[in-house]
């Protein structure tokens, strides 16, 4: 019993100096062994994004326009849903999993058509996906999800609807071009 308690403390204890990026307090870096012991990993601040991924997102996009972080966090929350419910693939595909791609596409290609600035220079969801499905077990769940989508077609939304797929307040980024 004492061995189990000591091992648990070793796995979950991290020397933690609080880090803040763009006003956001990052969770501590989780112990990789503990974090990868389950599909969902560790989410100590309970915001729907695994802590290692959240830290990676903020570190990766800290010098980019803040919308990059919003879109990446949206993608991470969507990928968590895939891990939780791969059997609901067709139900969650368009409304949740494709949403970060549509949101990102709006700000990468189409915002200028609506007199808004282009804020994104490359895909954000793909790097987050590779970070999220970083173990064999997580990849297998994604593969199961992906296979369940086979045989159907998934039409793209109209361009003027892409921005609606962002699950965060986009008004803070509205700055019509003059």
Q: Return d(Cα 47, Cα 133) in angstroms, integer.
A: 18
Pick from 151, 145, 101: which is nearest to 123 by CA?
A: 101
User: Would you list the DSSP string of 104-145?
Assistant: HHIIIIIGGGGT------S-SHHHHHHHHT-SHHHHHHHHHH
Burial 88-123 (b: 16+ CB within 10 A, else e): ebeebbeebbbbbbbbbbbbbebbeeeebeebbeeb
Locate tokens 């560790």: which residue? 42
**pTM for the model:** 0.86
- d(C-alpha 75, C-alpha 125), whole Å: 6
Tell me which of 1-10, 36-45, 132-141 is least confident: 1-10
Give Cβ neighbours of residue 174 (< 8 Å, ≥ 6 apart).
116
Predicted pLDDT at 5: 44
pLDDT tens per residue, range 68-121: 999 999 999 999 999 999 999 999 998 778 999 999 999 999 999 999 999 999
Q: What percent of the chain has pLDDT over 90?
A: 74
105, β-bridge pairs: none
Q: What average pLDDT is seen over the chain?
A: 88
pLDDT digits (tens, 9 = 90+) for 8-43: 445 544 455 688 788 888 999 999 999 999 999 999
Domain ranges of the chain: 2-173
In the chain, alpha helices (H): 2-12, 32-35, 51-61, 67-84, 89-92, 99-105, 125-132, 136-148
């Amino acid at each position: 019993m004492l061995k189990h308690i000591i091992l648990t403390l070793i796995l979950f204890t991290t020397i933690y100096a609080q880090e803040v990026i763009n006003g956001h307090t990052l969770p501590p870096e989780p112990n990789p062994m503990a974090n990868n012991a389950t599909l969902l990993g560790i989410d100590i601040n309970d915001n729907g994004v695994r802590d290692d991924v959240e830290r990676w997102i903020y570190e990766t996009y800290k010098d980019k326009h803040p919308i990059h972080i919003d879109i990446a966090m949206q993608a991470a929350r969507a990928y968590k849903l895939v891990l939780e419910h791969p059997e609901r693939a067709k139900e969650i595909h368009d409304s949740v999993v494709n949403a970060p791609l549509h949101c990102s596409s709006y700000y990468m290609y189409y915002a200028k058509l609506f007199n808004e600035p282009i804020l994104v220079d490359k895909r954000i969801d793909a790097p987050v996906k590779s970070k999220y499905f970083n173990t064999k077990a997580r990849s297998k769940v994604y593969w199961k999800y992906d296979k369940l989508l086979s045989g159907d077609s998934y039409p793209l939304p109209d361009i003027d609807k892409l921005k609606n797929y962002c699950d965060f307040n986009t008004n803070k980024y509205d700055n019509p071009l003059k």
